[in-house]
Amino acid sequence: MSNPRYWRENPSRYNLIGRRCENCKGVFFPPREICPKCRRKSLGKMKAYKLTGKGKVYSFTIVHDPMPDFTLMKPYIMAMIEMEEGVRLTGQIVDCEAEKISIGMDVESTFRKLGQEGGSGIIRYGYKFRPV
Amino acid sequence: MMFGHNEKNVGIVTYGAYIPRFRIIPEEIARVWGEDGQAMKSGLMIFSKSVPYPDEDVITISVEASRNALARSKIDPEDIGAVYVGSESHPYAVKPSGTIVAEAIGTSHFITVADYEFACKAGTAAVQTSMGLVSSGMVKYALAVGADTSQGAPGDALEYSASAGGAAFIIGREKVIATINRTFSFTSDTPDFWRREGQAYPSHGGRFTGEPAYFRHVATCAKELMKIQGTKPSDYDFAVFHQPNGKFPTRVAQQLGFEKKQYETGLTTPYIGNTYSASMMIGLSAILDVAKPGQKILGVAFGSGAGSDGFDITVTDEMANYNRAAAPTVKWFVERSELLDYGRYAKFKGKIVMKE
């Protein structure tokens, strides 16, 4: 990932900042410029909205064949989280053994390293989730 | 002698800690290196030490501790005017940890940020700087963090103690839960422990780290601070000292005339190891977790190289209105633990050379 792209996404990766349509009150993550329901009525009405970080495991998988950044954590859990605000997002579950994860488990966001560009490149940070 | 005088009621407005959940015990490290685990355990008075997960570093630990501090208070992060992160294991050699921490806790961009380094007392140096900025009126609140994922060379005595953790204090003048009546420092050029640029592991002077370094600086700082304040050990409800192991702070506390009931609450190293820049600050957090209004605390940090920062603190009535339960206590972090064998510990700590 290039530095500018990583940097642009910092607000949502660091602080779960999405958008809320002031027209229909729908919440979106990652941020959207236009509400897919209200379309042109949402123009200029998509406001930054910080998610609480709390949600439930909607579904999950255990990864045994990881990407290089995740080798030391294998096997690890990737899950779809249904946030309190109703949006679903994908994230790694940490502080939880693979055999203990379950659908419906309460989780909250935590700040962790997501990866790095080798030993000399930039380190990427952002949200993961842990059991409450 | 006037250094550290506080006449503006500056103090701790809120605090938070963070300790990774993994542990390794001295017997397991000793098993690999052919040492006597029981002897190391009793010699250092360390029963286990914390180990960071591969995705945890000083920045993630600082963010978690700072978010815990903010969760306990109603401070608007945009009112924080300065962020200082003290550590000797900043993930970047060049690029501040503090900018990432500030962004992740939602401060404005109109703040001053810097990373501090003074071995194990970089966090308390950040507290002192924060006190200065707040009392001068330059900022409303300042965030001071001490955090480390410290390194100990494989097989070295340090490997039994070097651990990971962090504590964050927000310093201000309004709704102060613990007034810092005075801070005081004692500093000298003492080469007891160091890490040269580019080196993966620190070096130390063995027994030289004791009397001329730790004990001289901590005891002198504590005695001079009490002399200036006109206090004696029995005036304090709690005392907390830097904890490179369990033995040193216990011995210096006893030498100074403190009793076990005064120093046991803040003594966390036997269970989590030496969290370096966070060591005294986590101990102080453990005390603030239980302290009542009116109680007095003496805290003395130590950083190799060498220096000590002392703090004379009084818990205020505001503590009764403070929402301590909004974030986990140090006790909770100490008790949530999962033991590692040496293989997983070496993997988590990046001690195994991996293929690119």
Q: What is the pLDDT of residues B7-24, one digit of tens each?
A: 678 999 999 999 999 999
CA distance B302 to B306: 7
CA distance B92 to B226: 38
Contacts of A113 in chain B (CB under 8 A): 54-57, 59-60
Domains and CATH numbers, chain A: 52-131 (2.40.50.840)
Q: What is the CA radius of gyration of chain B?
A: 19
Domain ranges of chain B: 11-177+327-348, 178-319
How many angstroms separate the Cα of B264 from the Cα of each of A40, B194, B247?
Answer: 64, 29, 12
How many angstroms separate the Cα of B316 from the Cα of each of A3, B31, B293, B312, B351?
Answer: 46, 48, 5, 13, 45
Does B106 touch chain A if contact means CB atoms closer than 8 Å?
yes
Write the pLDDT tens digit of every residue in B156-173: 989 999 999 999 999 999
- Is the pLDDT assigned to residue B2 strictly greater than 70? no
Q: What is the mean pLDDT of residues B267-282?
A: 97
Q: b or e along B262-280 (b: 16 or more beta carbons within 10 Å of the residue's beta carbon)?
A: bbebbbbbbbbbbbbbbbb
User: Residue B329, class by beta-carbon neighbours within 10 Å (0-12 exposed, 13-18 middle, 19+ buried)?
Assistant: middle
Does the annotation count B221 as an active-site position? no
Fold entry, domain B11-177+327-348: Peroxisomal Thiolase; Chain A, domain 1 (3.40.47)
Our CA dihedral for B228, B229, B230, B232, rounded to 10 degrees, sits at -110
Q: What is the mean pLDDT of residues B197-221?
A: 91
- Of B88, B159, B204, B217, which residue is the catalytic one? B88
CA distance B204 to B153: 11
Residue A78 makes CB contacts below 8 A (sequence gap 6+) with A60, A61, A63, A90, A91, A92, A93
Q: What is the mean pLDDT of residues B79-83?
A: 98
A to B CB pairs, distance under 8 Å: 46
- Of B90, B204, B217, B242, which residue is the catalytic one? B242
Report residue B218's pLDDT band, with 50, 70 and 90 as the boundaries: very high
**Beta carbons of B54 and A94 less than 8 Å apart:** no
Contacts of B64 in chain A (CB under 8 A): 110-111
* Distance from the Cα of residue A117 to its chain's centroid: 20
- CA-based nearest residue in chain A for residue B328: A132
Output the average pLDDT for chain B: 95
How many angstroms separate the Cα of B114 from the Cα of each of A63, A115, B101, B305?
Answer: 38, 24, 11, 20
**Beta carbons of A111 and B64 less than 8 Å apart:** yes
Do the domains at B11-177+327-348 and B178-319 have one common CATH topology?
A: yes
**What pTM value is reported for the model?**
0.97
Cβ(B45)–Cβ(B270) under 8 Å? yes
Does A72 touch chain B if contact means CB atoms closer than 8 Å?
yes
Q: What is the mean pLDDT of residues B120-129?
A: 97
Q: What is the DSSP letter of B274?
A: B
**Beta carbons of B60 and A111 less than 8 Å apart:** yes
CA distance A72 to A74: 6
- CA-based nearest residue in chain B for residue A130: B21
Write the pLDDT tens digit of every residue in B36-67: 999 999 999 999 999 999 999 999 999 999 99
B249 φ, ψ (degrees, to nearest 5) = -65, -30
**Per-residue model confidence as pLDDT tens for chain A (132 residues):** 788 888 999 999 999 999 999 999 999 999 999 999 999 999 999 999 999 999 999 999 999 999 888 999 999 999 999 999 999 999 999 999 999 999 999 999 999 999 998 889 999 999 999 999
**Beta carbons of A112 and B55 less than 8 Å apart:** yes
Q: What is the mean pLDDT of residues B169-184?
A: 97
DSSP conformation letters of chain A: --HHHHHHTHHHHHH-EEEEETTT--EESS--SS-TTTGGGGTT-EEEEE--SEEEEEEEEEESS--GGGGGG-SEEEEEEEETTS-EEEEEE-SS-GGG--TT-EEEEEEEEEEESTTTSPEEEEEEEEE-
Determine the pLDDT at residue B3: 64
Which of the listed CATH numbers 3.40.50.920, 3.40.47.10, 3.30.9.10, 3.20.20.70 matches domain B178-319?
3.40.47.10
- Is the pLDDT assigned to residue B1 strictly greater than 70? no
- Of B64, B120, B217, B221, which residue is the catalytic one? B120
Does A128 touch chain B if contact means CB atoms closer than 8 Å?
yes
